Amino acid sequence: MSQHILIVGGGYVGLYTALRLQRKLAKELRSGEVRITIIDPQSYMTYQPFLPEAAAGNLSPRHLVAPLRRILPKVQILNGLVTKVNHAGHTVTFQPAEGAARDIAYDVIVMAAGSISRTLPIPGLTDIGIGFKTVGEAIALRNRVLHLLDVAESTDDLEVRRRALTFVVVGAGFAGVEALAELEDMAKDSTRYYRNLTPADVRWVLVEATDRVLPEVGPEMGKWTLEQLRERGIDVKLNTRLESCEGGHVVLSDGSEFEAETLVWTAGVKPSPVVADSDLPLDERGRLKATTKLTLAGTRDAFAAGDAAGVPDVTNPGQYCAPNAQHAVRQAKVLADNIIRYLRGQELVDYRHKYVGSVAGLGLHQGVANVYGVKLRGFPAWFMHRTYHLSRVPTLNRKVRVVVDWTLALFFKRETISLGEMEHPREGFRAAVKTMRR
């Protein structure tokens, strides 16, 4: 009888699990003994570490996504959301992009739905806040920053100008620091095309509730990063929380208040909501309760990894693997092998990986790294950041496109126009229709 492996989410874990299964179960897929399905709202996997470079205009947004149907020809890709998992009945409820929801049966499930922004009930956050997890958000932010430079240049109202030129990022982890550093670098670069703007007119505020930035690179390099950001004129506020931002009026716990048009929220992640809409075991932090073998506690045919799962770190007893790509990719490999072992009635193996440290880009030619205890800063770290991620971005096709983007950027200045109009493509046409009615 055919075994149906259903993968919920086509991001890091989903894509890499399916790739390995597609390769290792080629015979079974051909004979129909095994079927694999991925469900994801998008038809592509996003290489999230490149989002800051896309926001800065160094990479085309199309080049940091990997098309699932092209890479996984033996796998069925369904676009939509899994809204419920009924593991007792081995079915999920699938809500396609259009049309009625339906139940889909499976034999083995892989929960790879990742995470969403972890928000807090802060007044005004939904008014002006934006996350930084998707291509849409990265490109919208890029357009917004450039549009607001245009606004500031064109107004003679000082209040409007100051508000437009104030950008706030909340959360100084990977996503927050990289997004801020890349966007600040791009904005600084762009001001040279404006008659009435200098880099000093643009205010960047980084708000962090703890006493450090970029914990992923360790205390020493985190401290260095903090000094670098401050030297660049970025107002880094440690031990500070966002109290409210109603209508763009930002109030911080250190007592400061100011107006800002833009607030980027990167203060952590929480599991995708679908994990709560399931009968699968959860841990005290609402993550899927995984075992060291990447099965879910108390099950044999439900697997999970990545940001949505709490995976015990066997190299650091009592701790869990951090939600990052370094673990997600490696977990996917073990997860796929364990599914094959399960199907063949063999013993499953543990996931074991000791965190090796991290690299982060801080704008063009600037970076910080702490990998295997080797600490780098400035250009060498930036070079390492680029080469590492180039080696990791899926498929040769994407690697070539990324190199071409970077090479073009070497010879031509980066694009500094806002294409925010693309977010409202029908506005011009609607206005034309209105003039007809008059």
Contact pattern from residue 244 through residue 283 relative to ligand FAD, giving x for each residue in contact according to CB under 6 A and a dash for the rest: ----------------------------x-x---------
Cβ-closest position to ligand FAD: 11
Which of residues 54, 68, 110, 113 is near ligand FAD by CB under 6 A? Answer: 113
Of residues 51 and 186, the one with the C-beta less far from ligand FAD = 51
Q: Which is nearer to ligand FAD, 56 or 207 (CB)?
A: 56
The verdict on 328 binding ligand FAD (CB under 6 A) reads yes
Q: Tell me which of 42, 190, 291, 418 binds ligand FAD, using CB under 6 A.
A: 42
For ligand FAD, the closer CB: 68 or 242: 68
> Exactly one of 271, 310, 323, 394 binds ligand FAD (CB under 6 A); which one?
323
CA-CA distance, 132 to 119, in Å (whole number)? 12
How many residues at the interface with ligand FAD, by CB under 6 A?
Answer: 35
Is 19 among the residues that bind ligand FAD (CB under 6 A)? Answer: no
Please report whether residue 133 would count as binding ligand FAD according to CB under 6 A. Answer: yes
**Residue of the chain from 6, 25, 34, 51 that contacts ligand FAD (CB under 6 A):** 51
Residues 189, 199: Cα–Cα separation, whole Å: 8
Alpha carbon distance 360, 15 (integer Å): 23
Q: Which of 324, 338, 366, 418 binds ligand FAD (CB under 6 A)?
A: 324
Answer positive or negative: Cα dihedral of 342, 312, 47, 269.
Answer: positive
- For ligand FAD, the binding residue among 81, 108, 145, 381 (CB under 6 A) is 81
For the bound state, the minimum distance from the C-beta of residue 378 to ligand FAD, rounded and expressed in Å, comes to: 18
CB of 401 to ligand FAD, least distance (A): 19
Shortest separation between residue 434's beta carbon and ligand FAD, angstroms: 37
Burial of 381 (0-12, 13-18, 19+ CB in 10 A): buried
> x-or-dash pattern for ligand FAD, window 292-311, by CB under 6 A?
--------------xxx---
Return the residue of 225, 228, 326, 366 that touches ligand FAD, per CB under 6 A: 326
Q: How far is the CB of 426 from ligand FAD (least distance, A)?
A: 26
Considering only 5, 6, 11, 271, the residue that binds ligand FAD (CB under 6 A) is 11
We find the least distance from the C-beta atom of residue 6 to ligand FAD, in angstroms, to be: 10
Instruction: Please answer whether residues 38 and 7 qualify as being in contact, where contact means their C-beta atoms are separated by less than 8 angstroms.
Output: yes
Contact string 170-209 vs ligand FAD (x = CB under 6 A)? ----xx--x-------------------------------
Q: How far apart are CA 347 and CA 132, in angstroms?
A: 40
Contact 418, 55 (CB under 8 A): no
Contact with ligand FAD (CB under 6 A): which of 4, 28, 41, 153? 41
Contact 5, 90 (CB under 8 A): no
Give the C-alpha separation, 43 to 57, whole Å.
Answer: 23
β-strand 34-40 against 3-8: which pairing, if any? parallel
Give least dist CB 24 to ligand FAD, A: 19
Closest CB to ligand FAD among residues 135, 260: 135
**From 5-13, 141-149, 362-370, 417-425, span contacting ligand FAD (CB under 6 A):** 5-13
**Binding flag, residue 364, ligand FAD (CB under 6 A):** no
Using CB under 6 A, list all residues that contact ligand FAD. 8-14, 39-42, 48-49, 51-52, 81-82, 112-114, 132-133, 174-175, 178, 272, 274, 306-308, 323-326, 328
